[in-house]
Amino acid sequence: MAAPKIVGCFNHPGKEAMGRCRQCSKPICKECGFVTPAGMYCSNECRDKHEDFMKRATDVDLSKRQKRSLRARLGSVFSLIVVLVVLFFGAVLLGWLVHIPYLSSFSITVRSFLGLM
């Protein structure tokens, strides 16, 4: 693997770039870099653009996540119902086929309730 080439600043080709603008990915040195808690930018304009972009991306992400979590919740409720139904009828069937105290009487109760006597 080749060693990474030192990239010069976009504005000062002689100077080693400290990083890249988060918006336009221009290599920038310490002098012209615009450092914010979110990252480095080559200009105010780029910072504004990127913050705007990030804000929009977060908004989209948030609404997507809300939709996804709602669907996940519906899915888990649905699978819980399926599991309960399967367990219920499994117990009824088991009590029907095999004589197990309590379970068989429960099975008889359920069958009589459903009219399957």
| CA 110/CA 97 separation, integer angstroms | 14
**Per-residue contact track with Zn ion, 92 to 111, x per CB under 5 A?**
--------------------
Please give the residues from 39 up to 58 whose contact with Zn ion meets the rule CB under 5 A.
Answer: 42, 46
User: Between 51 and 94, whose beta carbon lies closer to Zn ion?
Assistant: 51
Q: Which residue has the tokens 């200009």?
A: 43
User: Between 13 and 90, whose beta carbon lies closer to Zn ion?
Assistant: 13
Interface segment toward Zn ion; rule CB under 5 A; list 14-22, 50-58, 77-85, 92-100: 14-22
Least distance to Zn ion, CB of residue 21, Å: 3
- 41 strand-pairing partners: 34
**Could you give the residue ranges of the DSSP H alpha helices within the chain?**
44-97, 103-114
34 within 8 A of 43, measured Cβ to Cβ:
yes
99 to each of 51, 86, 92, how far by Cα in Å? Answer: 69, 19, 11
Q: Is 32 in the site for Zn ion (CB under 5 A)?
A: yes
Q: Which residues bind Zn ion (CB under 5 A)?
A: 9, 11-12, 21, 23-24, 29, 31-32, 42, 46
